[in-house]
């Protein structure tokens, strides 16, 4: 059923003759972000960029009011509680996750992904949580495992609600990782020849059959989500799903390539407020 909807969507899009106006190569991240914001606000002058944190709902008042009603009594409250217990349960050595982060892990998620100069690569919050585990003698979780790492991010990220996204790209190595992520975002691949940008830039705010497409700015601030109210999705699981929907092989979750994509994609939301655990269709 799902696949059928996507196929209809693709057929509809093929007819539109999408033009891919890629963001200028090697511009600064802040310039990239501003250019993308300008693209959207030129097209939709009445939708304030702050509303982009609601994704496709920013373009659909009815769905947004349904969302508001659901968010008053979130059906996933019990998952947040389970996750809080995970976060607070000490490791075998008596330490906790809070001990690994500045400010006990509060108001930090907006700094991730960050470029770790010593490691020479991008570190996501998920990686940082795993680094905390291994530094304390625990085994790392599998990054794509929703029952362990996925669930842990529910509470871990909620500690940063309200923080403004603040992804930094400084120095040549960080810039190279950012440019690598940008390349993935704009690369048209697979039999169907779609890039992330084909949908989430060129067709953001466009309703194609039953799917209203969200803009890339604002995408990275609200993870994880609960689809249908109870199905947990992390941001990289969502990337993998979008790759699959256009019949592309996804990079593995937690790979450098996927992390670089998250790095670029998150920097596009710099300045927007974080809010973990939201409802999505």
Cis peptide before 27 (omega within 30 of 0): no
Nearest to 174 by CA among 28, 60, 279, 17: 28
| Dihedral Cα 9, 10, 14, 20, nearest 10 deg | 100
243 binds ligand HEC (CB under 6 A): yes
Please, which residue, 151 or 199, has the CB nearer to ligand HEC? 199
Helix (H/G/I), strand (E/B), else coil: 72? helix
Exposure of 94 by Cβ count < 10 A (0-12 exposed, 13-18 middle, 19+ buried)?
Answer: exposed
Residue 234 CB contacts under 8 Å (≥ 6 apart), including other chains: 126, 144, 146, 149, 150, 153, 223, 224, 253
Q: Which of 30-38, 119-127, 131-139, 243-251 is the region at the interface with ligand HEC (rule: CB under 6 A)?
A: 243-251
Residue 163 or 196: the one with the smaller Cβ distance to ligand HEC is 196
Site residues (CB under 6 A) for ligand HEC, limited to 244-263: 245-246
CA distances from 151 to 73, 84, 138 (A): 19, 9, 17
265 touches ligand HEC by CB under 6 A? yes
Residue 132 a catalytic site member = no
Tell me, residue by residue from 8 to 37, as one string, x for binding to ligand HEC by CB under 6 A and - for no binding: -xx---------------------------
Q: Which is nearer to ligand HEC, 95 or 238 (CB)?
A: 238
CB 114 within 8 A of CB 123: yes
- Taking the least distance from each CB to ligand HEC, the nearer of 59 and 101 is 59
Minimum separation from the CB atom of position 225 to ligand HEC (A): 5
Does the footprint of ligand HEC cover residue 280 (CB under 6 A)?
yes
Q: Which of these is catalytic: 100, 132, 196, 242?
A: 242
* 97/223 with CB nearer ligand HEC: 223
CA distance linking residue 263 with residue 116, whole number of Å? 12
Which residue from 108, 156, 201, 213 is in contact with ligand HEC, where contact means CB under 6 A?
213
Q: Centre a 10 Å sphere on the Cβ of residue 215 and count the other Cβ atoms it contains.
A: 26
Using CB under 6 A as the binding rule, whether residue 242 contacts ligand HEC is answered as yes
Q: Does 200 bind ligand HEC (CB under 6 A)?
A: yes
Question: Can you tell me which of 199, 217, 221, 258 binds ligand HEC, judged by CB under 6 A?
Answer: 199
Could you give the C-alpha distances from 45 to 31, 41, 48, 59, in angstroms and in order?
A: 20, 5, 7, 12
**Residues with catalytic annotation?**
242
- Residues at the interface with ligand HEC (CB under 6 A): 9-10, 55-56, 194, 196, 198-200, 211, 213-214, 219, 225, 238-239, 242-243, 245-246, 265, 280
């Amino acid at each position: 059923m799902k696949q059928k909807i996507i196929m209809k969507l693709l057929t509809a899009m093929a007819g539109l003759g999408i033009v891919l106006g890629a963001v200028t190569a090697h511009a600064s991240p802040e310039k990239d972000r501003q250019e993308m914001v300008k693209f959207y606000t030129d097209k939709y002058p009445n939708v304030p960029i702050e509303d982009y944190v609601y994704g496709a709902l920013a373009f659909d008042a009815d769905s947004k009011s349904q969302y508001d009603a659901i968010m008053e009594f979130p059906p996933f409250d019990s998952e947040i509680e389970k996750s809080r217990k995970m976060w607070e349960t000490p490791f075998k050595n008596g330490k906790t996750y809070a001990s690994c982060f500045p400010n006990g892990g509060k108001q930090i998620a907006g700094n991730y992904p960050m470029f770790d100069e010593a490691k020479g690569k991008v570190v996501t919050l998920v990686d940082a949580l795993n680094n905390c585990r291994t530094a304390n003698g625990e085994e790392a979780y599998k990054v794509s495992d929703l029952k362990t790492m996925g669930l842990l991010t529910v509470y871990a990220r909620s500690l940063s609600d309200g923080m403004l996204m603040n992804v930094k790209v400084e120095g040549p190595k960080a810039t190279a990782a950012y440019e690598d992520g940008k390349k993935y975002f704009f690369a048209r691949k697979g039999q169907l020849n779609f890039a992330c940008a084909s949908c989430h830039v060129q067709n953001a705010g466009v309703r194609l059959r039953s799917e209203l497409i969200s803009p890339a700015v604002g995408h990275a601030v609200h993870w994880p989500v609960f689809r249908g109210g109870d199905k947990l999705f992390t941001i990289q699981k969502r990337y993998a799903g979008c790759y699959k929907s256009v019949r592309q092989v996804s990079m593995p979750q937690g790979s450098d390539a996927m992390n670089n994509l998250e790095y670029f994609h998150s920097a596009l939301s710099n300045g927007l407020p974080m809010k973990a655990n939201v409802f999505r269709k």
